[in-house]
Structure 1
Amino acid sequence: MSSRPLIQDLLADAPPERPLAGALGGVALLIAGALLIGGLLWAAGGAAVAIAFAGGLVLVAGAVLFLGRRTGETALAEAQPATDWALVSAAIGEQEGTAVIVTDPSGVVRSANAIYERWFPDRPSPGQLPEDKAGTAMMQAAVRDARRDGHGRVERLERRGLAFTLTVDTAGRHADHLVWRVRLAEGSNLAVDAARLLTGPAGERLGEAGVMGLLLTGAGRIEAANRVFAMRAGGRGDAIIAGRDLGAFMALEPDGRVRFVREETVGGALRLVQVPLDPSDGNAPTLVFILDDEGGAANGAQDEGHVETLLAMLPFALALADRDGRFLFLNGAFSRAAGLPEGATPVYPGDLVVREDKGAVADAVRRFATGQALSGDISVRLRSRPDEQVALSIAGARGLGDAAVLLSLKDNTEESKLKRQVAQATKMQAVGQLAGGIAHDFNNILTAIIGHCDLMLMRHTPGDSDYDDIQQVRANSNRAASLTRQLLAFSRQQTLRPQTLQLPDVISEVFNLLKRLLGETIGLNVTHGRALGAVRADPGQLEQVIVNLVVNARDAIQAKGEAGTVTLQTFSLSAAEVKRMNSDILPVGDYTAMSVTDTGTGIPPDILSKIFEPFFTTKEVGKGTGLGLSTVYGIVKQSGGFIFAESEVGEGTRFVIYLPVHKAETASAPAPLKEKGRAAELWGSGTILLVEDEDMVRAVAERALSRHGYKVLTAAHGEEALEILEDGAEIDLLVTDVMMPTMDGPTLVRHARERMPHLPILFMSGYAEEQLRKSITIERVSFLPKPFSVQQLAEAARDTLAAT
């Protein structure tokens, strides 16, 4: 049962009584008496005496009312009872596996239960639990959620090797106190799990079976121990054991036997069983179990039975093998970790792994069984999961009868997954940087090609022998430019032109294209929800997202070999509905969503997690680049949205895109549709200083601007442009590349603005606009991405001049 209602009751006091009401009642009686006396004075002494008496009485009544009000406020303040924090502590009490903390509005810890004290002896405030900036940011977000919605959550935080989840709820009369609940993450820390095992009910059960257990740090100090060990080693069940060296309690006899120091003359020999929690780390904690060695080798079988009973109780994957490498015992956790069917018992450890790892496992078991009592681990692949690496820990066991080797399996699934994610992120970053660098040079080349095509098309008309060839060159250049944008898309560096739009309008723009792509055998159904909120995104990029998803859906249906259907649906999702979804990824807010559903082959679960990775494809060589879904992912994420995939093999796949609803600050009329411009509208006048280090781009841009009526001065770099300005040239517009050797565009602009503060600026670059705007802090500038056509350059020059 949750303790939140009780805590809220404890922090919320009953409304105080209002002594001010008594004061008002007294004043009312005083006025009634005054009216009676005033009437008698009027009759006896006349109007003057009555009026004087009434005036004095008004002053007295005012004073009484003021004093009564002050007294009432004081009584009201005193009537607020102080919170009984001792009662709160008793209420939150011992909760199994949960540390509970109550903080006041200033963040000070007012109450905490015993588990909190045990896990965090330095009593940090909850805000001090994270040890990194990312954890602190998640904590702050959880507090904001709690202040807004009454509840916040952090899925995983780490502190000093301890991983935990955290929830925070508001409580109190004014909902200004916070109740924090901290729970250990499952399997997050073996040492913490072992300490909980020893100090909890399981430790008591071990003691009843005659087994003493303790957790040792890498330095040999006791981290935790069960009560039986404390009683035998320290003389009392509550003896202070934690933090002390194990050697202080143990004595080594000349014959090699181990005894307790305090039982040196009367106690028997002891047998120690060590279970290293991480054999690959010499400083990792070790779980130690101590048994009374009363019968020596004669009782080996009995001791072995005790050990097997002990290992069966532990939540760690443990097994015993003899000197020949045959399994003697496997606990349930080991069988589950190895992926064994229920009731199956392999003969050798090598039976668990793939053929390539059998020899290494057999050699390791033989070496540890016949050598010194050492431990180590090897990386293997299990037959049940051949694509994943797991750690098989092996330690030599002594004094356990036939058992010579202790084996432990560590499931590296999460670790491997994190490594893959880090490798994927690194690859994405490297590819993004590579794409950005290539895009700059590649776009310069494409700008020259497209520009020269445009200039030639001005001299050729349809029907000329060269017209079709020029158009073909221009079309292929545009395809190359589209490929560059696609490379930038999955690295989230493409230039977006966001607009406020409605998803149904975007779908209607590409509807006919989608029908042609699907063909005659695949149906297309489109349904739109009601009250859809507007979103802000690049319509061209959204069209690319829709086309890519529909093409993938078509390929999945064709692979199934049957006629099928692709369904596009739009719907709205309110913040309340998002909150009920309880998603760890989707923030609470209003969304407009679009789903693309097919009836194709579906995606297997092992592939579903990889579909958004760049260059990952299941299609045949030459039929897929692996950029389609990664491009979709990049565009959606850069637009501030989220995309999820759901699939069932043989049934089909559903992609859902959530875009946040755009809420404009002020309502504005939609922009009027532009008429298709005539060439004459692009003509202009004035002097333009063109700065470009690439000769071919500079030549094309100069000819394009000159053909549209401008006087053009050119410079190959920033220093040459400054010389032109210093010579006194009157410039109406500065058009400059951003990235140039020696002096870049922004530096040139800053120098130019010192001389001409209102000079219009048009930047052109092959890099992504979003990346450049983060580094360019200059105001009142326009941006033209490369590659551009002659018409686009003329339009950009006209619009930049018109904006001043």
Structure 2
Amino acid sequence: MPHRLISPRTATSKELDSLVHVLDGADIIIHSLAGTITHWSIGAESLYGWTREEAVGEKVFELLATQYPNPRNEILEDLKTRGFWRGEIVHRHKSGHDIQVATRCVLVNLADGQPAVIQTNSDISALKKAEEAVRAREAHLSSILETVPDAMVVIDQKGIVMSFSKAAEKLFGMSAEQICGENVSNLMPSPYRDAHDDYINRYLETGEKRIIGYGRVVTGRRADGSLFPMELHVGEATFNGERIFTGFVRDLTSKIKIEEDLRQAQKMEAVGQLTGGLAHDFNNLLTVISGNLEMIEAKLQPGPLRDMLTEAQDAAADGAKLTGQLLAFGRRQPLSPKQVDLGQLITSFSDLLRRTLGENIRLSTVLSGSHLEAFVDASQLQNAILNIALNARDAMPKGGSLTTEISSVSLDADYAKMYPEVRSGNFILISVTDTGSGMTKEVKQRAIEPFFTTKQVGSGTGLGLSMVYGFVKQSGGHIQIYSEEDRGTTIRIYLPALSTPKSDLSAPDAEPAQAPLPQGSEHILIVEDDPRVRKVAVTRLRDMGYHVVEAADGAAALQILAKNQEIALLFSDIVLAGGMSGDEVAREARRQRPDLAVLFTSGYSEPALTSHEVIAGAQWLRKPYTARQLAERIRSLLDHG
């Protein structure tokens, strides 16, 4: 829109004198275009400290050390063209301090044809300070809201979202632009969504509180439709006569998972104590039974009765083996630990396993590194591996492969935080991986419970993995199960390592521990369905300087990849929830971006995974991994391809 031009008005010198006289209390300065002051009101004296006698005849921009928003010659041209100019400038008081001023200049023509400028000023210093204070408070509040881990959502009394913090964007998987102006019920699943507006209306009418002021556990809904438990705290305030509600939301997914793991560990501990006590008493009974049978047998001549006693003795022996397994689960079985080279022990045990498993199962053993020594009962460890191998054989009725890998690992504090039953330290890891049918989520959760079995009646006691669990716990270690249907199973046994040189427990190409971690600034996409593991990986990489984007499943990862061309590396778990595996995600990602670097991670054994023939150039990082191993592998891929 063009500026409206105002023709300069004509005024006599007397008229200007009268103007200043009538409005003497106002801040009025009259000067020539060159800036020479001709009139100086009492208001100007009060504002700037200069008397009329001191000011008249001086250059206004020199006397007041004027700071203009634009060059002075541009302002003069604007004044000549339009007939007026207004804006904010800074003047200097006689005492030396600055004054923020809102000014308006009007051009007039004197009777002798010379132009003059009538300038009126208003002191806005206090207003500017107040604005700066407000901006500072807003910046402070914004920094708090961006760093606080809890999400914040502000709604009006109609349920419309007014504000959506950065943490809320991350938690719900949507931007503030997408949700602001929409009803907050879009963040809730049914039936809570339909009932939400009724809750607010009932509260406004009756004062009956359902959530206001309370911390409650409710269910949230992300943009992708997935549901999650959350803790909600709601406060209220009144603004311009209307109520607004501020909700602080905390994701409870990780907390509930940790509590479930802890309850499961406590349950297994209680069951172990119970079964251990029962097995101990049952062993006493078997001792009496077996002893009396032996004495009777010694007094009988060969014949049918003696044969029946022999069968009874065999049954008592089987009962003794069963109670031995119960004692192992209950951690009351006496162990005879000694220093054992696990690599040598398991390698020599492979021949027995091969004969046990049969010819249709390929058996391989991989040793990674040296000093694979632990203080453990060798015979009980062999028995544990045999139980695992027999379960693997049953899961591969048509044949397959069984891989046992022994390596040194160091579990750091980050890993221990994710699993409450795990302690940090140096361990020898024994991974036994099969290519069988795998386990459902429900079976995996109950796999180590005593007497739980998926086999037919009479085909097993359900104590195999329970015995392994008890033995490992009694030996000071821990056990983890990685399994998915049709993806096979990996059983991982961690046994405390004997004191070993620190360098032997690191990756072969690791730098000294005191060396700084390799850094970077590239964009990395992390795909991990376990929120605790994902959070640790994201935090580690951001601490290393990388720009990190995260996804919980393959579909979300591919959507992110399509929109963000800056992503240089895909870091994905091989087994994901949501229908797509990590290698399927990587293949599709490589189809879109052939130059994309790919790093896989998994709790499965690496040799078993490599048989899946995943995409070329991909590298593997086995869980658990240290921050240094992650940093070095990332840099290796990004620097060398």
TM-score by length of 1: 0.37
TM-score by length of 2: 0.44
Higher strand share: 2
